A and B are shown apart, each in its own frame.
Chain A
Amino acid sequence: MNYPYQIEIPECKFIMNALEVKQLIKNFNRREVVRSISFCAEKGQLLALLGPSGCGKTTTLRMIAGLETADDGEIWIEGALASCGRKVVISQKQRHIGMVFQDLALWPHMTVYENIEFGLKANDLIRAERRKKIETVLNKINMQNYAREYPTRLSGGQQQLIAIARAIVTEPRLLLMDEPLSNIDVKLREDIRQEIRRIQQETQITTVYVTHDQDDAFLLADKIAVINNGILEQIGIPEEIYSSPTSLFVANFVGEANIMQVKIIGKDKVLTPWGELVCNTKGREGKNAYLFFRPHQAVIDDSGHCYGTIINRDFVAGGYKYRVSTSGIEFKLQDQTRHDIGKFIKFSIRKMDILFF
């Protein structure tokens, strides 16, 4: 007899994860928003769901929280089945989840103290215990002096921290964060990002972090799941996602990349616009082979095998970004030296990869 929990999920290395999502499906008005997504997060891990707007990442998060009901698939929280198909096994209340919303959703008619206290009261904690927990969590975020303030009187960053404090004060089994940094400016973003990382590592709460921002995902996450059009494209550690994308979408979406279709003409030999290049073809053959390299992985030098004409130059802090054309094919390069537009250059690719999609 097959039990649901015996379904094998390739990326799950442990028997019991803090969160397991299996073949989750959700439709809105007959439109498939989430298409059979499966992933898991280990205890204490921060998993980022990364993808463009409207890809289904927030819907997935809301299904984990119990705010939406899935059409099919399973959600397991700490080894317990939370929902199976349309059936909710563990009610939203009993899932014991903390959540930080995109607009933070701090109740404006309550003080910071009351905002944090709400969840503790809902869990029937006595007053002394509540006070102790609130003081601890406010200390943790260094905002002990703001307990009696109303949220609208706080700065954007402070509000952010209060929203996090409210979510973690109940010591949830799972912390869900829905693009919490999307509404704050770049400078503050970096500080809050560090704070989130610090708090998460200190508390060791398993966290699912939804974002469309690659910086957020790469700087915060232990593991990244890239979602596109309701489908999980790739899941892995940040380095893996960056250097070995397994789909054309991930290769294009994550970081800046040059991808061009090439032909394998022999063992470790590919035919490129610059002629024959030697590259590890992983013993594979086939038509769908792509040469993949990042702009910083190429160096402009006169002894290079590759060549092209500079058609555009942008100055970015500390260097230049070039758009180079070879026989009508455009690609991006990065270099410290300034070269003129229209100049014919030679370059070599220090690290390249052949991907098969």
Chain B
Amino acid sequence: MPNPLQLLLPALIPSWNFFDVIAPSPRVEFAVTSSAEAAPEAWREFRPRPHRLTPGTMAARMLWNPRWNESLFLVSCAERLIDNPTAHSEDEIFKRIAADLARGAETAEGWLSFRLVFVAREDQAILREVLFEASPRALAEIDVR
């Protein structure tokens, strides 16, 4: 695990290479099963984006946008899991999915799994490829406080 000074250095000597290449883009999908052994089947995209946003909502998000910024953090975690896997990235994704489930109307019980689907263009075709699938964890054991 890098120390904080190592993490600070790229900020003090930045590269500024924003969007130099458009890399394959991760989507987090999750499934809840009744047991650790059950194969997940009903994968759902985590926080699918809305079809449309009103100008008013866009304006409000200039000042209050925690959910979207958290989703962007999960994109970073997903990319880190592929480039440089750590338990931290996996834990963060599990915690944030479990927290959403705990806040939702559905009963959050059972075993949670997630997978990372990377979307990319090859010539003119858009391809989706699963590059990571986490081992299931009991929802009751994920700390969401």
Q: Do A and B share a complex?
A: no
On B, residues with C-beta under 8 Å from A are none
Residues of A in contact with B (beta carbons under 8 Å apart): none
